[in-house]
Amino acid sequence: MKIRTIAPRNVLIAILSLSAVFAWGQGKINVVFDRTTHDFGTIEEDEGVQTIVFSFVNLSDAPIFIKDVQSSCGCTSPQYSRNNISPNTIGKIKVGYNPVGRPGEIRKSITVKFGNNKETRTVVLYLKGNTLHREDNDTDKFSYTDGNVALRTALIDMGTVLKGNTARKTIEIYNPTDKRIKVDFASIPNNIDIRIDGESSIEPHSSAYVLIDFKTSDKDRAGVYSYKIPIKVNRKNAFAIEIKATVNDDFTHITTQEFARKPQIWLIPPYLNMGTLKKGKKYSFKIKIENRGSSPLTIENIVAPEAPFVSFGRLKKNIINASESVEIEIVVNTQLLDTGTYETYCKVFGNDCESPVTDLYLEFAVE
């Protein structure tokens, strides 16, 4: 079971650096990004440079410009214009990431400095994901197999997908047998297109490419989505692949008036130490979600993406008016756990442009 862990001495730092798409100071420079973290999901070294675009809207009362953009690694190359960006106008920063020679976890940052005639503001953008190692032979490369068909991995992480957009991944599939095989897919949900690029038949000891499109609409709920899709070889089930994506709102369409009346989410507390729990039982804890803004706060989703032993009670209401709060019940099922210490997190998705995804950190021990 994969659990994201956070060293206790770093918890406070983690809480203070929660994902946010909003950058604001007491001066005149106000900008809202479509996101400040981009998740590539799972990529391969052979895919080459990955290019993405961060969009932002200038909600200041005067033009601003990008003074400087610095990346934390030479593998990351930002491109941007130094032209003035008028109020209520969208600007873009294009970022290229080169995964060649960098297998494993992606964790990079890009520091953006905005300016006008008086002020300077800094926003830090983040890149995350995982790069699969380049292998020298097919046996090592396609290690996930049932003997009839083989893949690099059975988890296809599409990464971050903004509402109304489509994410595409291309994965390689291999025929390890001495006979030609025909590959199909079953139980495909409506928001996913998956197909072999070209003919669905694969020659012996040869590979083909699978095209996966993950589609979203403006009406979708923000959250983490996961689907199991069976692979069929010669009309018989082989194994299932898991397709995963994180769907977020795009706040670059917000107006100055909406920004002034924005909701503001607060988790009380943002970090919960549950103490020592007995194995084989279920434990219930409660926290508050509070709206300290002016407009109603809508809670779209609450998930624990890497903790299947955590579930949530039903909210009494998912629209929280200004100065109001609602309790959320968190249930930990220790029947699914071994003894030991656990540190994980939950994600609360809402319509706060300052914190559209707010993390709640959990810590406990099982004995």
The 10s digit of each residue's pLDDT in 63-111 is 999 999 999 988 999 999 989 999 989 999 999 999 988 889 999 999 9
pLDDT given for residue 365 in this prediction: 96
Is pLDDT at 342 greater than 50 in this prediction? yes
> 22-132 falls under which CATH superfamily?
Immunoglobulins (2.60.40.10)
Residues carrying CATH 2.60.40.10, the chain: 22-132, 138-247, 261-366
Is pLDDT at 28 greater than 90 in this prediction? no
For 92, counting Cβ atoms within 10 Å of its Cβ (0-12 exposed, 13-18 middle, 19+ buried), the class is middle
pLDDT given for residue 139 in this prediction: 66
pLDDT tens digits, residue range 263-303? Answer: 999 999 999 999 999 999 999 999 999 999 999 999 999 99
pLDDT given for residue 136 in this prediction: 59
Chain mean position to CA 134: 24
Give the confidence band of 243 by pLDDT, cuts at 50, 70, 90: very high
pLDDT tens digits, residue range 147-206? Answer: 899 998 899 999 999 999 999 999 999 999 999 999 999 999 999 999 999 888 999 999
Comparing CA positions, the residue from 306, 281, 144 lying closest to residue 224 is 306
CATH, range 138-247: 2.60.40.10
- Return the CATH fold of 261-366: Immunoglobulin-like (2.60.40)
Is pLDDT at 254 greater than 90 in this prediction? no
pLDDT given for residue 3 in this prediction: 41
User: Which pTM does this prediction carry?
Assistant: 0.78
Tokens of 169: 């991944």
Is pLDDT at 17 greater than 60 in this prediction? no
pLDDT averaged over the chain?
88
Give the confidence band of 56 by pLDDT, cuts at 50, 70, 90: very high
pLDDT given for residue 283 in this prediction: 96
Distance CA 174, CA 302 (A): 37
Is pLDDT at 5 greater than 50 in this prediction? no
Q: How many CB atoms neighbour CB 117 within 10 A? A: 9
Report the percentage of the chain scoring pLDDT > 90: 69
Chain mean position to CA 305: 10
pLDDT given for residue 257 in this prediction: 86
Angle CA 123–128–134, to nearest 5: 145
Is pLDDT at 15 greater than 80 in this prediction? no
Is pLDDT at 14 greater than 50 in this prediction? no
For 129, counting Cβ atoms within 10 Å of its Cβ (0-12 exposed, 13-18 middle, 19+ buried), the class is buried
pLDDT given for residue 7 in this prediction: 39
Is pLDDT at 27 greater than 70 in this prediction? no
pLDDT given for residue 137 in this prediction: 59
pLDDT given for residue 259 in this prediction: 87
pLDDT tens digits, residue range 197-229? Answer: 988 899 999 999 999 999 999 999 999 999 999
Give the confidence band of 61 by pLDDT, cuts at 50, 70, 90: confident
- Say if strands 144-145 and 297-303 run parallel, antiparallel, or are unpaired: unpaired
